[in-house]
Structure 1
């Protein structure tokens, strides 16, 4: 996953003392210009529609680093983000804030993503029950995608993923969304 994001991992070990693992990831707080992206990614990113200012995404992610990277990237892409740290909080925020789309991690404390998706799908308010949900998970074994879709997710994306892939999925599912009143 680290190499996918252009980083590296190193280890220093001293017998009887322990080991130090160093994770290095490139990080900038400003959006990179399209020219800096590889040609294939720049072309793909051009196909992703720019969101309007009123598009709100709910990110359910318990890992602080994953959440921070996604929030910063998607905010720079033009989305407004709400962050839930577990499945229970995601269900509560979905009901209270009516996001346009939910990005749902599957392995979380309190309530896992599959349970949260099922509760959202059973919600009596159709704005909540029908919101597009993209499952984001490190679970990439046979049958994992099917379990996410059976729980009610509209799409499944295995970690690690390219940011252009998530932007395309978000764009595709927002275009399918019917305007709400």
Structure 2
């Protein structure tokens, strides 16, 4: 006969049944919820370095030292209101990780690799005029851009928002917007 401890008697008094199946179901539902939350992409108000923590954590951890700004070889990181922000107007983020290595506060140490931006078609792609351009496709490190009959299609899930396609586009048909 098994020894019954205080938890068993407390469960019996509260009329709660605790089966082995229910116990494992409870454990696995917690694991599944935490996995779903970690897989969900963070919506950012502005483009951030690719491995930046979520906004609340970033605000709490960032000490506004500017080491990420000086470590960026592309010079696309600026401090706006004390927090790192990507300026993807004239250059792109190569996702090299130098900003992450320079950050001593772990504000740029998230496991996700996304800037919060999204490449969108906003102009006249020269493929629509019959040219055989595929500069944006070749420059995308995540294979998020595919050629279509008269233009391109951008996979929103694969796009990391680095802006390399925007810089490579000879007709400036790609712009960077924010993911919603």
TM over 0.5: no
TM-score by length of 2: 0.26
By percentage of residues, which structure has more strand? 1
Higher normalized contact order (CA 8 Å, seq sep 6+, divided by chain length): 2
By percentage of residues, which structure has more helix? 1
